[in-house]
Amino acid sequence: MIDGKSRTIDYLRISVTDRCNLRCVYCMPEKGVEWMPHEAVLRYEDILRLCRVFAGLGVTKYKITGGEPLVRKGLDTLISGIKAIPGAESVTITTNGVLLKEQLPALLEAGLDGVNISLDTLDPARYQELTRRDELKAVMGSLKAALGAPGLNVKINCVPTGDRSRDWLELAALAREERAAVRFIELMPLGLGRSLASCTEAEIRRLLEKEYGPMAPFVGKLGNGPCRYFTVPGFLGKIGFISAMSHQFCHQCNRVRLTAGGFLKTCLQYNEGIELSPLLKGSDRQLREAIRAAIYRKPGAHQFAAGAGAGLEGHLMNQIGG
Ligand code: SAM
Ligand code: SF4
């Protein structure tokens, strides 16, 4: 559908849990996390019903996220359910990769179109520091399995923080040997992200170009979102940048988010949206009208650069889904 700012909204990010098996420093605190009670989490059948309503409003692309989506059992059944919705063009997941290898066959069987693996370093000690867990080996096994799956679109997502040039060079080099895209996502000043030093697209580009040669903008359509892709001499895969801070893309925003508890969140920065779980008692028509009205009011742009303001998001990223 078209929102109140004339943007086409056709992409839904669905968080299936707020739980996670890692504790990334920019996303979750090390201790004292309060989980959403199980009974407050939407059941798959409710998510599927909502997806059908969203499909009726023009959503064609679905991303499953969390928390860590693969810690929730039976994700393959949700994926095959969404794939069966008329008009569903793609169903993808974003995962930390820890549990992906063992679940990949079932996910592929369910019709998964693509996977984004979040990975910020290839160095075991740095991985432990950044995620507070020792799971790099499992993630690398999953990455290998995903790259070996015919037809699966694989992307590697890194949120660069601090000053870790070697990590970024090594991650980018994965795109030299593989067709996968390696994408650098600028840290958003949300939740724990507020307290960390971020790194801009311009800084990463300078670093990569110095090492690997000039990058050229990739002309053509790749993916469903705001990522801008570049080719690098001798690289099979592409390098991408999602730069919400230095290259704000709100005017092209095509997405809304459904939290694990059933809140339809229309902008990452604000609490704007509507609680859908109470409306599940009503008819599909009522749901549809409530969703339509909320999307119509989707905020025009984030104002992270302008600092704090009223109605700002107070949740952590694992509760929102990224
Ligand atoms: N656990 C899954 C994962 O890590 O891919 C899915 C959920 S995670 C919240 C989704 C994405 O949000 C990850 O790529 C993560 O790196 C990113 N993320 C978390 N906090 C962020 C922040 N403050 N700014 C930018 N990206 C962030
Ligand atoms: Fe978990 Fe993903 Fe957040 Fe890391 S970024 S703590 S893997 S939800």
Q: What are the helix (H) ranges across 148-283?
A: 165-177, 201-212
Q: Classify residue 6: in a domain, yes or no.
A: no
- Read off the pTM: 0.95
* Residue 171: CATH number of its domain: 3.20.20.70
Residue nearest to atom 5 of ligand 1 (CA): 95
pLDDT, tens digit (0-9, with 9 covering 90-100), for 275-291: 999 999 999 999 999 99
Q: How many Å separate Cα 287 from the centre of its chain? A: 25
Q: Identify the domain containing residue 69 by its residue range.
A: 11-320
Q: Classify residue 259: in a domain, yes or no.
A: yes
Residue nearest to atom 14 of ligand 1 (CA): 118
Q: What is residue 106's DSSP assignment? A: H
Confidence class of residue 244 from pLDDT cuts 50, 70 and 90?
confident
- pLDDT higher than threshold 80 for residue 77: yes
**Rg (alpha carbons) of the chain, rounded to whole number:** 19
- pLDDT higher than threshold 70 for residue 49: yes
Q: Classify residue 303: in a domain, yes or no.
A: yes
**65-69, 141-145, 222-226, range with the lowest pLDDT:** 222-226
Average pLDDT over the chain reads 93
Q: Classify residue 32: in a domain, yes or no.
A: yes
Pocket test for ligand 1, best of 15, 20, 118, 312 (most atoms within 8 A of CB): 118
| Average pLDDT score over residue span 122-135 | 97
Question: How many angstroms separate the alpha carbon of residue 201 from the centre of ligand 2?
Answer: 21
Angle between the N-to-C axes of helices 201-212 and 165-177, in degrees from 0 to 180, rounded to the nearest 10:
60
Burial grade of 209 (CB within 10 A; 0-12, 13-18, 19 or more): middle
Question: How many angstroms separate the alpha carbon of residue 29 from the centre of ligand 1?
Answer: 14
Confidence class of residue 311 from pLDDT cuts 50, 70 and 90?
low
Q: Which ligand is nearest to the CA of 25?
A: 2
Q: Classify residue 1: in a domain, yes or no.
A: no
HSE-up (13 A, CA, CB side) for residue 134: 1
Distances 288 to 40, 53, 229, 262, 285 between C-alpha atoms, Å:
21, 6, 35, 14, 5
Question: How many angstroms separate the alpha carbon of residue 294 from the centre of ligand 1?
Answer: 24
Q: Classify residue 5: in a domain, yes or no.
A: no
Per the structure, the count of domains in the chain is 1
Q: Classify residue 282: in a domain, yes or no.
A: yes
Q: Classify residue 3: in a domain, yes or no.
A: no
- SS3 of residue 130 by DSSP: helix
Pocket lining for ligand 2, CB < 6 angstroms: 20, 22-24, 27-28, 66-68, 96, 118, 317-318
| Residues 299, 293: Cα–Cα separation, whole Å | 12
Contacts of 299 (CB under 8 A, 6+ apart): 266, 267, 269, 270, 272
